[in-house]
């Protein structure tokens, strides 16, 4: 089968199409014929070798963790899903014609494979950080980096829960952030003052690691009410870094429920043929994705 691989850590150019064997699902896993794979910043962080000390991987290696496709083989012990059913979920080496998933759910009615591939990791992350920061209905949440994949999910889930959101985004995404029910702010130097003038802020999320933790701390007045998913300096300020602990099956079920009620939509920023994975990575790394980029298989 065709798959995207890299033989050494490096820039987008190390990604290359290759012919490899079809993977087999282990116990509790399924294999899908991939129709679309989601492109997450995590994928290019792995490709660059950012995690090589904590999680070394043998090279050459495949890429990707989110995908949508048709069930092709079911591993031992798997119940409730059959060959031929359309699913989305998380697994490994999903930039490929076939991939093994360890968590999945049926694709909600009306959602294309391309759209579905964009949901798993962003919804899992969004649910995890909203829970961790402890924001409640009626409270106000400040979201730095509101227009990306995770931001798009956080804004819509928060709105559904009756949480007021103020989101920062670039000039081109102000209307988009407003369309998701949030008050939009551009992130030029005066944004903290403009946020403060909007009233008390109960909790804040840093979703892009752009060095805003001190400002978020000033706005909420308490490190327990600030969480980051992307700034490794967090512990210096007593702020929590949300790195692990997600529940993907729960996230997929909640995503399906929200999508069915028309409360969650992650737009496709752009789709690319599988062979153009390097372009998708370069565009994702440029840092201004609205929603999610996907590879079509």
- 10 three-class SS: coil
The only residue of 40, 94, 103, 140 in contact with ligand NAP, by rule CB under 6 A: 40
Closest residue to ligand NAP in the complex (CB):
148
Helix (H) or strand (E) holding 272: strand 268-273
- 22 three-class SS: coil
Integer Cα distance of 75 and 205 in angstroms: 38
Integer Cα distance of 64 and 60 in angstroms: 14
- Interface mask (CB under 6 A) for ligand NAP, residues 111-140, using x and -? ----------xx--x---------------
**Number of chain positions touching ligand NAP (CB under 6 A):** 32
Written as six digits, the tokens of 103 are 């968590």
The only residue of 168, 220, 225, 271 in contact with ligand NAP, by rule CB under 6 A: 168
Integer Cα distance of 107 and 176 in angstroms: 25
**Min dist. Cβ of residue 16 to ligand NAP (A):** 23
223 phi-psi bin (left φ>0, alpha ψ -120 to 50, beta other):
alpha
**Min dist. Cβ of residue 208 to ligand NAP (A):** 4
- The residue among 79 and 286 lying less far from ligand NAP, judged by its C-beta, is 286
Task: Decide if residue 271 touches ligand NAP (CB under 6 A).
Answer: no
Task: Decide if residue 63 touches ligand NAP (CB under 6 A).
Answer: no
Handedness of CA 248, 1, 42, 167 (dihedral sign): negative
- Give which of 109, 100, 91, 105 is closest to 40, Cα–Cα: 91
Instruction: Report CA dihedral (249, 228, 153, 133) to the nearest 10 degrees.
Output: 70
The only residue of 134, 162, 200, 243 in contact with ligand NAP, by rule CB under 6 A: 243
The only residue of 65, 144, 220, 271 in contact with ligand NAP, by rule CB under 6 A: 144
Stretch that binds ligand NAP, among 41-49, 65-73, 88-96, 275-283 (CB under 6 A): 41-49
- The residue among 71 and 294 lying less far from ligand NAP, judged by its C-beta, is 294
Where do contacts with ligand NAP occur on this chain (CB under 6 A)?
A: 40-42, 45, 121-122, 125, 144-145, 147-151, 168-170, 173, 187, 207-210, 229-230, 242-243, 284, 287-290
């Amino acid at each position: 089968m065709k798959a995207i691989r890299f033989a050494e850590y490096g820039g987008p150019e190390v990604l290359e199409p290759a012919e490899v064997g079809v993977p087999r699902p282990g116990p509790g896993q399924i294999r899908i014929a991939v129709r679309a794979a989601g492109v997450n910043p995590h994928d290019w962080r792995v490709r660059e070798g950012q995690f090589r000390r904590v999680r070394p991987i043998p090279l050459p290696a495949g890429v990707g963790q989110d995908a949508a496709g048709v069930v092709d083989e079911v591993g031992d012990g798997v119940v409730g899903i059959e060959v031929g059913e359309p699913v989305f979920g998380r697994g490994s080496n999903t930039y490929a014609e076939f991939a093994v998933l360890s968590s999945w759910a049926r694709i909600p009615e009306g959602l294309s494979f391309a759209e579905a591939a964009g949901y798993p990791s962003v919804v899992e992350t969004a649910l995890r950080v909203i829970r961790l920061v402890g924001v409640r209905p009626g409270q106000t949440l400040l979201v730095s980096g509101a227009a990306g994949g995770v931001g798009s999910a956080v804004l819509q889930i928060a709105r559904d829960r009756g949480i007021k959101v103020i989101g920062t985004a670039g000039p081109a995404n102000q209307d988009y952030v407003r369309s998701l029910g949030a008050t939009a702010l551009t992130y030029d130097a005066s944004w903290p003052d403009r946020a403060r003038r909007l009233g008390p802020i109960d909790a804040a999320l840093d979703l892009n690691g752009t060095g805003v933790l001190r400002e978020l701390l000033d706005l909420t007045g308490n490190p327990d009410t600030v969480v980051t998913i992307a700034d490794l300096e967090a512990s210096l300020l007593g702020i929590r870094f949300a790195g692990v602990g997600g529940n993907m099956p729960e996230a997929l079920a909640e995503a399906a429920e929200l999508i069915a009620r028309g409360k969650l939509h992650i737009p496709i920023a752009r789709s690319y043929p599988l062979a153009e994975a390097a372009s998708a990575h370069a565009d994702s790394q440029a840092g201004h994705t609205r929603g999610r980029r996907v590879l079509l298989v």
